[in-house]
Copies of this chain bind each other. A is one copy, B any other.
Amino acid sequence: MRNPWATKMEQFTAFTADERTRLDTVLASRQQAFQAQEDIIADGAHSDYCHVLLTGLACRYKILPDGERQIMAFLVPGDLCDAEIFILKKMDHAVGTLTASTTAMIHSSEMKMLLREASPISEALWWGTMTDLGVLRERIIDQGRRDATERLAHLLYEMLVRYRVSGATETNAIDFPITQTDLADATGMTPSHVNRVLQRFREDGLIELRSRTLTIANPARLKSLAQFSAAYLHLDRTEAKDPAVFARAGDLISVP
């Protein structure tokens, strides 16, 4: 079985064969399939299981009192959907799919065991949580101090990096089922304005985007336009140029 969760964590640390087996076992025990636009876990819900996204694309979001939706993060295979549920009484936001997806379910008790061991696995779980914090902080910077163009550029570039890291692509093209309305809800923009900015990107030869495929035609210029620096992703082994890992995303995150 492909194990994107282990693959993701291996950005941070190397696992022994035993540890990989352990992670494979944990993921295999119980899985769940979702259609597009379905909640993996609803706002305010509780569950005894954490979900790891195995395939598909999901997002964290919240519906505000006035009906508007704010997307706080996109989730790609290997991401933990609701790590907090093992410790908190209920979710303070929802996680929903954008496309048909599958998840692996991990029981809270199993999760607590993994976290309490003095092992690379528990360290990798902490790393994942700390990285999530970094990603959220970067999004705050996006929305506080970058204009619409920079925000969108940053989001597109980050998605490419994360797809590369997760092994979902080896080129500069990614499957991109995210609609312009989704992008608007994630960046705090209007769908119309998202559209106009994307068109400018196309005119300027930065990207191609059609039929659910996004191609970053000029990664270097998009990166500098976005003021992108990969530090907040804490891809330690990639930065250290671990051969197996660096090959996947090194060209995108190199420090200028």
Contact = CB atoms under 8 A, between A and B. Distances in A.
Interface in A180-194: 185-188
- Which size bracket describes the interface of A in this complex? 35 or more
Contacts of A90: 231
Instruction: Name the prevailing secondary structure of the A interface residues.
Output: helix
A124 to B, nearest CB: 9
A33 B84 CA distance: 33
A136 interface: yes
A175 to B, nearest CB: 25
A165 interface: no
This chain: how many copies in the complex?
2
A17 interface: no
A243 interface: no
Nearest to A62: B141
B89 A130 contact: no
A94 to B, nearest CB: 11
A136 B68 CA distance: 19
B236 A72 contact: no
Contact of A227 (B64, B143, B232): B64
B83 A130 contact: yes
Contacts of A188: 143-145
B84 A140 contact: no
A234 interface: yes
A1 interface: no
Contact of A87 (B87, B123, B132, B139): B123
A145 B84 contact: no
Interface in A44-103: 44, 60, 62, 64-65, 68, 70, 72, 83-84, 87-90, 92-93
6 contacts: A62-B141, A70-B140, A89-B236, A92-B137, A92-B232, A143-B144
Given A65-B227, A83-B130, 14 more contacts: A62-B137, A62-B141, A70-B140, A72-B140, A84-B133, A88-B127, A88-B130, A93-B134, A93-B232, A116-B118, A129-B133, A133-B133, A140-B140, A144-B188
Nearest 9 CB-CB pairings of A with B: A144-B188, A143-B143, A136-B136, A84-B130, A92-B232, A87-B126, A70-B141, A70-B145, A72-B137
